[in-house]
Amino acid sequence: MRLTDFKVLTFDCYGTLIDWEKGILTSLQPLLRRTSIALSEDTVLGAYADAEAAQEVETPAMSYSKILRIVYSNLARQWGMEATEEECVAFGNSVADWPPFIDSPSSLKYLKQHYKLVILSNVDRKSFAGSNQKLQIEFDAIYTAEDIGSYKPDRRNFEYLVSHLETDFGFDKSHILHTAQSLFHDHVPATAMGLSTAWIDRRRDKSGWGATKPPPTKARIDFHFHSMGDLTKAHQDETDE
């Protein structure tokens, strides 16, 4: 299997193209500065992962910005505080401020010359629009949880992706390489759908699972890269052969 076998790259955004863990930790500072509990970054991100995943299951039709408001409030109570409405709203709107990984814009610009580029993300369109500006690329299609009515790892999100790529572009599963960091949100359900996958292993030098829950089962990984830059380099190597 080679990267040049595919016609479309489908991307998770947050954790893969956008440094959501840095964004989350920065946006949680109003709480973290007030708590008297000693909380490591891993503890904070793990608590976020649990709270976010639970809320997405409970309210799958709710917009991501509103999900984040509830998550913020729940984390505050978990850590012995009460959050203000202003703080909750600010956290809910913080996605647009989360920074891109340094290699994301240039890698996407290169890959755009060779593939259709498609987003499959657990956000609402307004939140993604802010991130899209930072990524500096026009995606060929953007499919969000707001469009679908459920959140990854729900199988419906991947069924929506496969169906729309076939209807809108004429791609079947063999044309698609799903490219993502999260094993929990992306690689396990993508494997179940029969999609080929590329793991952008952004947390390779860190312990634990960060802002995602651990995968419930093992996923098949077809390509393993440490960064988007490494994926781009691998593609260049193939085309230079």
Active-site positions read 12
Measured CA to CA, the distance from residue 9 to residue 119 in angstroms comes to: 9
* Contact residues for 218 (Cβ-Cβ < 8 A; gap 6+): none
Measured CA to CA, the distance from residue 131 to residue 127 in angstroms comes to: 7
Q: Do residues 193 and 23 lie in contact, with contact meaning Cβ atoms separated by under 8 Å?
A: no
Distances (CA, A) of 94 to 31, 60, 63, 112, 218: 14, 20, 14, 27, 32
Q: Do residues 25 and 134 lie in contact, with contact meaning Cβ atoms separated by under 8 Å?
A: no
Using DSSP bridges, classify how beta strands 176-180 and 116-121 pair: parallel, antiparallel or unpaired: unpaired
Measured CA to CA, the distance from residue 125 to residue 131 in angstroms comes to: 10
Q: Which amino acid is at 190?
A: A
* Contact residues for 90 (Cβ-Cβ < 8 A; gap 6+): 27, 30
Closest CA to 195 of 223, 176, 170: 176
Q: Which amino acid is at 62?
A: M
Phi, psi at 199, each rounded to 5°: -90, 115
Task: Order the strands of the 8-11 sheet from edge to edge.
Answer: 141-144, 116-121, 8-11, 176-180, 196-200, 223-225
